[in-house]
Amino acid sequence: MNKSSTFIAADTLEKENEREANHQVTWRSYLAVSKTGIVMSNLLTVFAGLFLASHYSGTALSSDPLKMLLTLLGSACIMAGGCALNNYIDRDIDHIMERTKERPSVTGELTGRQVLSYGFVMAGLGTILLALTTLMAAAIGIAGLIVYVVLYSMWTKRTTTFNTIVGSFSGAVPPLIGWAAIDPGLHPIAWSLFLIMFLWQPPHFLALAMKRVDEYKRAGIPMLPVVAGFSVTKRQIVWYVATLIPVSLTVAHFGTVYTVITVLLGVGWLAVGLAGYKYKDDVKWASHMFIYSLNYLTILFVLMIIVHMF
């Protein structure tokens, strides 16, 4: 689907939505287009960056709780704004996919104009809140927003299999935002957190793409399993997981507990990945990889915080 036909379809859907919209909109409608699950999981990595920056800069978070609050709220707002704008852009194809067909931007619960306005307001508010911490935190937030909305949602998502890589840049900025709110100089540890997040995302989202391959195919989204098939996608996933293991150890100075658990997590994920070469049900294997990826990220970033508390 080319860009012109995309926006013609979007305009048509917009008119239909405006005719059918339920004007008794509730806050839940806006929470739905904010993708709160994604926002909450990313806030964990924002807090990890914030916490680690305070630890290594010798700044106690308890001495400035307002900065912590502004960082978390600002990050949540700018991410919610980006997700809403993504919903606005994808409203012409979301009805095709099972996991997105009930979004308020698709059902007519919210009109395109409402979703677009909400996205800009939230992104603007988030930028202001982050700027009240440091200008660097705000700049990183804006950069992540532009990559996600413009380079990913508006361009590469519908044109190339590299869409996952492009999206990974924006998905990797949350810990940088948290760190920059305390230390705008961005210590090398901050960049290690960025790289960990960057390398985690392709195996996570490629596994999801394998699970939803038929839906992506119907929507005309050139995800790797749609274009190149499962075999190539599985190899890519395994390579990313294998690369993530040594990258996660660039912060091995976090201690023995961190190092041992991180190696076990990484090797476990790699083992599940390698098992995919003998697994008969590729979709079921992809489901296992997807769930493991969620647990991996949560455990890893919680672990980073815990080992610095004692």
Tens of pLDDT, residue by residue over 110-139, are: 888 999 999 999 999 999 999 999 999 999
pLDDT at 101: 82
Q: Report in angstroms the alpha-carbon separations of 164 from 75, 112, 123, 221, 300.
A: 22, 25, 22, 11, 22
pLDDT at 280: 84
pLDDT at 23: 52
Q: Closest Cα partner for 193 from 171, 214, 175, 211?
A: 175
Q: Closest Cα partner for 230 from 272, 163, 268, 279?
A: 279
What pTM was estimated for this model as a whole? 0.88
Query: Under CATH, to which class is 1-185 assigned?
Result: mainly alpha
pLDDT of 184-204, one tens digit each? 989 999 999 999 999 999 999
Give me the residue label for tokens 């929470």.
31
Rg over CA atoms, the chain: 20
Confidence class of residue 1 from pLDDT cuts 50, 70 and 90?
very low
Confidence class of residue 6 from pLDDT cuts 50, 70 and 90?
very low
User: Across the chain, what does the average pLDDT equal?
Assistant: 90
Reading the block at residue 173, the tokens are: 């900025």
